[in-house]
Amino acid sequence: DIQMTQSPSSMSVSLGDRVTITCRASQDIGNYLSWYQQKPEKSPKFMIYGATNLEDGVPSRFSGSRSGSDYSLTINSLESEDTGIYFCLQHKQYPLTFGSGTKLEIK
């Protein structure tokens, strides 16, 4: 199985800050990496696909990048509505595997 190591597990940041969350893949997954945001008691929301592409309707302050086997989600200028838990997902091969999640809170 492909392991997705996500860090940090939690972050407490100030409004307007820049936030970066990273997932490292244990094997080559190419750009088959997507990001999801989950609010309390809600299902995950699809945010980024192909490692770098924003889904329609996702604010432009969100971005995705890749450096080798490291994949990052960046939020420029954090807003209050960005709180929640963020997960990465590799969908290169079965079994599909998720990162452990990053809980993002406002300081």
Partner 1 sequence: QVTLKESGPGMLQPSKTLSLTCSFSGFSLSTSGMVVSWIRQPSGKSLEWLAAIDWDGDKYYNPSLKSSLTVSKDTSNTQVFLKITSVDTADTATYYCARRRGLWAPFDYWGQGVMVTVSS
Strand bridging mode 97-98 / 84-90 = antiparallel
**How many residues contact partner 1, by CB under 8 A?**
23
Q: Which of residues 57-86 bind partner 1 (CB under 8 A)?
A: none
Task: Provide, rounded to whole angstroms, the least separation between the CB of residue 46 and partner 1.
Answer: 5
Task: Evaluate whether 73 touches 61 at the Cβ level (below 8 Å).
Answer: no
Angle at 59 between CA 34 and CA 83, to 5 degrees: 75
Rule CB under 8 A: choose which of 16, 60, 68, 94 binds partner 1.
Answer: 94
Per-residue x/- track, 39-58, partner 1 (CB under 8 A): ---xxxxx--x-----x---
The residues of the shown chain that bind partner 1, judged by CB under 8 A, are: 1, 32, 34, 36, 42-46, 49, 55, 87, 89, 91-92, 94-101
